[in-house]
Structure 1
Amino acid sequence: MQITTVLSSVTIMAIIILFGTIIALTGKVTDESKQLLVMIIINVAVPAVILNGVFTTDINAELISKIVAIFVISIIFNAIGIGLGWISAILFGFRTMKAKKLAILAGLGNTGFIGIPVCITLFGPTGGLLAAIYDAGLDVIVFTLVTMLLKEEKLSLKSFKELVNIPIAAVIIGISTAIIGYEPPAVFKNLASILAGLAAPLAMLYIGLLIPAFFREKKKVPVRFVSVSLLMKLLIIPLILIAILQIIPVTNDLKLIALIQVSMPTFTLATVLFARYAKDEDTAVATTVYSTIFSLLTIPLIAFIGYSFL
């Protein structure tokens, strides 16, 4: 992975986000149309990225070991991220539910919506597949540790049921068919390849669509809370995890994929979770929007630092 490749990818991301912003400014974009775009990305484009990665990759013992390794790394790193976020919240004087919310916003990144498309751009179909496995690890943390923190309840069967979604199903189906040696028809391979190309541009367009509405509403933003969240998510936690990556005995490609994933902005699902469990959607929206904008600057920086040391 060359830094010029990262810079090129981030520049393209920024331009497509700008296109989405212009569309939102010049036309009427309804909540229903944005929700439709989200459904297409999550239920069509991202599963296609995963299946395309399986179809174009030789599933062997080495790749299976990488899949297991990146899944374990994801769970550990996301748990560490939440822990570091919680420590920072305490140090800056936040307590109880505010500390928990800051820990979640600072610790977890948009590894699916943005991370998978970025990784497939940088590392190809196999990179997209491994990024999807990393995102699956984040999902495990979200629907266990995160829901437990927000709900202040014990884990239940319902929490684990929420892990079942179309992208996860695509991972299971794709890897299972590859292991048994099933060769899908060429039409399905071509279809997966074409649909996979939708993931990155649609995700960036969606983010662009959100920006004008957010600033137009002029909602009061808790500056200190959001600032600490952004500092931890985009700089401090990635730098700490870069140090940890140096001593983890895994291949360099896994380190680079993990590096890109930990540099992602705050995950968009935080808005849904905070609205559902904490009755505080605005804080999550503000952190998500600002972190996405600033990540266009910090992703190349983290990539440069990581590339220099890994």
Structure 2
Amino acid sequence: MDFFVVVNSIIVLFILMAVGYASYKAKIINRSAAGGLSSFLVNISLPCLIIISMQIPLNEEIFANTMEMFLIAGIYYALSFAFALIVPKFFVKSDLERGVYRFMLVFSNLGFMGIPVTIAMFGEEAAFYTSLFMLPFGLLVFSAGILMLRPDMGKYFDKKLILNPGIIASLAGLLFFFTGYSIPEPFFNVIDTLGSMTTPLAMVVVGALLAAMPIKEMFSDTKIYIMSAFRLLVIPFALFLLLRPFVDDPLMLGIPVILAAMPVAANAVLLAEEYNVDSNAASKGVFISTLMCLATIPIIGILLL
């Protein structure tokens, strides 16, 4: 593994968070502005990113590996959901707060960190399979993910759960993927530009929300460290043990395990803010897990040697 790639990705994330932190302290961004940016990201930028991530060429030669990667992604999410349903019960009391921890255990930072790290470990070929692994992400994060954050939505029909921009973008993206449809220019360029805003703006929002907390509070929450340990070490190790007897190809085994070891997705903060749950816990989860992954990703990398 080129450890510099991992460090570089993490440094970029922290600098973006620092920009948001400084902007809040300098009163360039206030709490209301951070909420507005979150809403823009959830409803416009992130759906654009989902559509662009599904603009992947599909042909008969790679169809078998594509289906295998989809199956492995399904196993990963099933495993993550199992941990998410059980683990937070032991250390989180509030139902709404528990939903945030469940979300953080399931959804990791696949896009910004996942692609450069898997390429560094497995070569350029890894980018395609990493993109395939990411395909179910958008559909799940805007359906099961929202239900995790707001379980009360499951008690009655809410069109916001079914007809939100993320679900629509995921379904459109999957349709484009399986039909081989390529979005024409200039529409592709517009969607790509809006989607590329997601990571930098999301980390700025995380930094701004962290700035509203006392510094001590950012590091003193034991629950965040427990969640991060499961997110960064336990889940990827469990996935490795589950897949190893059945998957012979080092690429098809290594990519999912490394992606399972990524830190908490910044989407946790954006959706927690959008659906009025504990965005402070989500912000701390992104910050602490991203910091801890400097040590944990090399451990998982050694496991795959």
Query: Is the 1:49–1:128 Cα contact (8 Å) retained in structure 2?
Result: no
Q: Determine the C-alpha separation between the residues in 2 that align with 1:199 and 1:111.
A: 19
Matched, 1:289 2:283: yes
**CA deviation string 1:245-291 (max 9, x = no partner):** 43453863575255334532373378469966xxxx4xx62x32332
Percent of paired sites with the same residue: 16
Question: 1:112 and 1:219, CA in 2 relative to 1: closer, same or farther beyond 3 A?
Answer: closer
The 3-state SS of whatever aligns with 2:44 is helix
Residue among 294, 299, 302 paired with 1:300: 294
Query: Is the 1:54–1:178 Cα contact (8 Å) retained in structure 2?
Result: yes
Question: 1:163 and 1:221, CA in 2 relative to 1: closer, same or farther beyond 3 A?
Answer: farther
Matched, 1:127 2:130: yes
Q: Which moved more, 1:67-76 or 1:26-35?
A: 67-76
Q: Determine the C-alpha separation between the residues in 2 that align with 1:77 and 1:250.
A: 20
Structure-2-length-normalised TM-score: 0.74
**CA deviation string 1:77-135 (max 9, x = no partner):** 22222245157x1xxxx5xx718677645543287684433335546576356325235
Question: 1:42 and 1:105, CA in 2 relative to 1: closer, same or farther beyond 3 A?
Answer: closer
- Within 5 A, what are the aligned runs for 1:1-310? 2-55=2-55, 57-60=56-59, 61-62=63-64, 64-65=66-67, 68-69=70-71, 71-86=73-88, 89=90, 98=93, 104-109=99-104, 114-122=109-117, 124=127, 127-128=130-131, 130-143=133-146, 151=152, 158=157, 162-215=161-214, 223-247=221-245, 249=247, 252=251, 255-257=254-256, 259-265=258-264, 267-268=268-269, 271=272, 281=278, 285=280, 287-310=281-304
CA drift at 1:156: 5.0
Q: Determine the C-alpha separation between the residues in 1 that align with 2:234 and 2:57.
A: 36
Query: Is the 1:50–1:128 Cα contact (8 Å) retained in structure 2?
Result: no
Query: Is the 1:20–1:204 Cα contact (8 Å) retained in structure 2?
Result: yes
The 3-state SS of whatever aligns with 2:214 is helix
CA drift at 1:28: 4.2
Q: Determine the C-alpha separation between the residues in 2 that align with 1:162 and 1:274.
A: 11
Question: 1:120 and 1:221, CA in 2 relative to 1: closer, same or farther beyond 3 A?
Answer: closer
CA drift at 1:208: 0.9
- Number of aligned residue pairs: 290
CA drift at 1:195: 2.5
Alignment RMSD (CA, Å): 3.9
Query: Is the 1:238–1:259 Cα contact (8 Å) retained in structure 2?
Result: yes
Q: Determine the C-alpha separation between the residues in 2 that align with 1:162 and 1:42.
A: 13
- What amino acid sits opposite 1:53 in the alignment? S
Question: 1:219 and 1:184, CA in 2 relative to 1: closer, same or farther beyond 3 A?
Answer: closer
- What amino acid sits opposite 2:83 in the alignment? G
Unaligned runs of 5+ in 2: 120-126
Unaligned runs of 5+ in 1: none
CA drift at 1:205: 1.0
The 3-state SS of whatever aligns with 1:98 is coil
Q: Determine the C-alpha separation between the residues in 2 that align with 1:247 and 1:159.
A: 42
Q: Which moved more, 1:62-71 or 1:41-50?
A: 62-71
CA drift at 1:207: 0.8
CA drift at 1:141: 3.6
Question: 1:245 and 1:195, CA in 2 relative to 1: closer, same or farther beyond 3 A?
Answer: farther
- What amino acid sits opposite 1:72 in the alignment? G
Q: Determine the C-alpha separation between the residues in 1 that align with 2:227 and 2:290.
A: 16
- What amino acid sits opposite 2:45 in the alignment? A
Question: 1:42 and 1:275, CA in 2 relative to 1: closer, same or farther beyond 3 A?
Answer: closer
Q: Determine the C-alpha separation between the residues in 2 that align with 1:44 and 1:112.
A: 19
